[in-house]
A and B are shown apart, each in its own frame.
Chain A
Amino acid sequence: MSSPLPLKGLRVADFTWVGAGPFFTKPLADHGADVIKIESRSRTDPIRNMAPFRDGVPGPDRSGYFANRNTSKRSICLDLKDPRGRDLALELIAQSDVVANNFTPGTMDRLGLGYEDVLKVRPDVIYLEMPMQGNAGPHRAFRGYGLAIAAVGGLLGLTGYPERPPVGTGTNYPDHVPNPLHAAVAVLAALRRRRRTGQGQYIELSQLESTVNAIGPALLATAAGMNTERCANDDAVAAPQGVYPCAGDDRWCAITVGTDSQWAAFVRVLGNPAWAARPEFATVQGRRGARRELDGLIAEVTATRRADELADELTSAGVPAAKVSDAHEVLLDPQLNARGHWRVLKHPVMGPSVYDNIPYRLSATPGELRGPAPLLGADTRDVCVGLLGMDPDAYQRLAEQGVVG
């Protein structure tokens, strides 16, 4: 007997696009919610046209960036600027538990799909917006692309080497982690409350406020009058800690020595180099004090070792260590593969393609990637005719006029 998907029966009218929004509705879809992604032919989700593409050939149904964020969803195209398109959206919303968008403030109101409009057709709706800076405040209309939120939110400035300009994570981290998943937490909590009270909920997730929480301890330190600076790979406790060069071109091993017993094991694995016996290295305070010199000494030894073998030996000896894996290596990673983290789904245009699996398992009610990313507008007819009960001839007429389809 297959176990039930935990969110079966839930429907989401999903107006989100680009990075943060779709990664929030994805876990809902993968756990059984009917997530209906609303786009239009003239205003598709911009990420459909962002690389990488199958075989490097661009096209709205060829982007891996889009595909990996949109599993298990349905896609419909409505012209929301046409009153008939907007009415269809409201009909869909009337049958949806959750309505979500990450447009700039005021966009949904202008489309006639703001919270007040939606309440009239769905009084117990859970309505989530994720504006960049919030719907109110002096910077509400400020715009930003790429790393803007990581920059304003402080993570970019704190991440990097002390002696150089900041570098950040090399990704649009807020779009992939705090903003989408905080949104999922909020909506799921609101659903739980609705079950007990019958009440819907308006939720505003300012992407700036959400992202600032990722560096919460730094703000507390500043409030307490302490400076927080970029510190590369240093740790507040462990020493040595670093990313050390290994044999080969641009090969590295990350190592954390947290305790004196780990230090002893670390020295053994390195082959008991003479410098390791120096008395100042016997305590964590001493190692921290001399950490730059120590890093150089360690690097001389690690440079002769293979990163994966060194990590195996160190972890066997109880020392946290890992090869720095690139995107090819994570696909071959024994642990990720034992966990079934990578899934190949057959996409109608892209063919078999690699997707991230859900990074957790619910033992009794697990989710699953129920299907690859939907083709643009693949489900418009099904939703309009099957779900909204539209007459097939009427659908055909609206399709010919470009309102749907």
Chain B
Amino acid sequence: MTAHQCPTPLDGVRVIDLSTRLGAYAGRLFADLGADVIRVEPPGGVPERTVPPLVGGVTSLSFAFTEAGKRSVVLDLDDPVDAARLEDLLGTAQMLLTSEGPGRLRELVLHPDDVTARHPRLVHLSISPFGLTGPWADRPAGDLTLLAAGGLLTLAGDPDLAPVRAWGEQTSVIAGVHGAAAALMALLALEDTERGQVVDVSAQEAIAHSLENAVQYFDLEGVVRHRAGAGPAEAGTGLFACADGWIYLVGGLGGLPLAWEAISQWLEDNGVEDAEQLREPRWRERDWRRGEQGIAVFRTLFERFAAQRTKQELYEDGQRRGISIAPVSTPHDLLSNPQLTERGFFRKLAVGDRTLAFPGPPYRFAGLDVGPGEAPAEPGRHTEAVLNSLSASAAAQAPKE
């Protein structure tokens, strides 16, 4: 089947990406799905290009991850000629992506009220820290402070230390996945009605939407959840040390044993001293399983066994026995994870003068190539091509004499 007969899901959709880190992941998702995502940057490139760590001393890896598949156009928006070019570009686009608060957008003449008035057939995906309205709409914010304000930070960490943030820029992921879904709904509406609109995503709200059951715990049972580490609430469940790190085992849920027979047999088959005591009836009792002593006894037995074995051995062996066990993977482990490598998950893309394994897309579309297909572009690589196509389309549309 030719590419023409088998278009990608977002074939023919143009996205103008003026985002900061907060919005960059949403744009990446559109590029993966076949949209023409044009990253507009100031001369020299956006500051996100220099966020460490850098590969080859020049390319930010977080930037490389979010920019794969996007094109780069450099425009100096302080120059009226380039500002007019951006307007022309917006006239050819279905979507505009920004990720700053309303005050800053007004300074840039990119406030959704203005942009969608000038371009009524544009979907403006406006991801911002607190949304476009409300008393905090222009508060300065970053990943850590948004996780705090949204209520996720308080749930993570050890009780005797400060709450701790999820690794990376999860705010960009959280706001990005919600924003991308929301913008696609607006795109469907656009293609139905020829009418654009503003999609106003608050990162704080998207985080508050990610609190598992914490808000309902308070509402329904009057209980406020606090950080509780990753330690087991009951025997058999939680992180256990092994020869090269940790594994995560679920040997009980809700006070009830899970695959307990298989776990007991596993330790006995390997001659673990005292393992037979796991067959005593008290391990079926909720109070014992949830008591400090039960938790400690299990840990001693299991870690005695695990200390001699690697994550991967324990994972494969335990799973074969029907036990819910998982390695606590490092990124290094993931690059050689048998499941991911067998499935051809990683894609080799050039970043500067290096070729790096990129994670494949979050989903697979049968028969279609969806995912990071192009190396991240250096600043302005596509300026000329895009501007030429603009003037060509302007010439084609010019009234004939």
Contact = CB atoms under 8 A, between A and B. Distances in A.
Given A6-B188, A148-B326, A356-B215, A322 B146 contact: yes
A332 B66 CA distance: 34
Interface stretch (B77-85, B242-250, B283-291): B242-250
Interface residues of B, number: 148
Interface in A373-402: none
Nearest to A136: B343
Interface string A69-83: 000000000000000
Contacts of B208: 330, 336, 341, 356, 359
A195 B142 CA distance: 39
A210 B51 contact: no
A323 B181 contact: no
A309 interface: no
A166 B366 contact: no
B221 A53 contact: yes
Contact of B221 (A56, A155, A190, A315): A56
A326 B216 contact: no
Interface residues of A, number: 152
Given A145-B258, A191-B188, A339-B133, A328 B224 contact: yes
A149 B340 CA distance: 13
B216 A353 contact: yes
A167 B201 contact: no
Interface in B191-248: 191, 195-202, 204-206, 208-221, 223-230, 237, 239, 241, 245-248
B281 interface: no
B155 A354 contact: no
B331 A168 contact: no
Interface stretch (B167-175, B270-278, B294-302): B167-175
A362 B199 contact: yes
B95 interface: no
Contact of B158 (A67, A164, A243): A164
Contacts, number: 513
A185 B362 CA distance: 10
Contact of B144 (A201, A254, A323): A254
A330 B145 contact: no
Contacts of A136: 343
| Residue with the greatest number of chain A CB neighbours at <10 A, chosen from B196, B216, B328, B332 | B216
A362 B368 CA distance: 29
Contacts of B55: 220-221, 224, 226
A363 B200 contact: yes
A255 B365 CA distance: 41
Query: DSSP majority for the B interface?
Result: mixed
A167 B363 contact: no
Contact of B162 (A133, A166, A191, A243): A243
Contacts of B15: none
Given A243-B162, A365-B197, A193 B215 contact: no
B334 interface: yes
Contacts of B135: 334-335, 338
B166 A173 contact: yes
Interface in A198-231: 201-206, 208-210, 212-224, 226, 228, 230-231
Contact of B328 (A156, A195, A228, A327): A156
Query: DSSP majority for the A interface?
Result: mixed
B319 A177 contact: no
Interface string B151-171: 111111110011111111010
Contact of A134 (B187, B228, B339): B339
Interface string B360-396: 1111111110000000000000000000000000000
Contacts of A267: none
B197 A220 contact: no
A192 B10 contact: yes
B173 A223 contact: no
B213 A243 contact: no
23 contacts: A6-B189, A7-B188, A55-B221, A64-B220, A65-B213, A68-B213, A157-B328, A161-B157, A176-B210, A186-B363, A192-B184, A196-B7, A206-B343, A215-B167, A219-B358, A220-B357, A252-B148, A255-B145, A256-B143, A335-B131, A357-B205, A362-B199, A367-B185
By Cβ-Cβ distance, the 5 closest A-B pairs, closest first, are A64-B216, A181-B177, A170-B155, A189-B9, A338-B134
Given A53-B221, A354-B216, 6 more contacts: A145-B250, A192-B9, A195-B191, A208-B340, A216-B359, A335-B137
Interface of B: 7-12, 29, 33, 51-53, 55, 61-62, 64-66, 112, 116, 130-131, 133-137, 139-158, 161-168, 170, 173-174, 177-182, 184-189, 191, 195-202, 204-206, 208-221, 223-230, 237, 239, 241, 245-248, 250, 253, 258, 319, 322, 324, 326-335, 337-340, 342-343, 345, 351, 354, 356-368
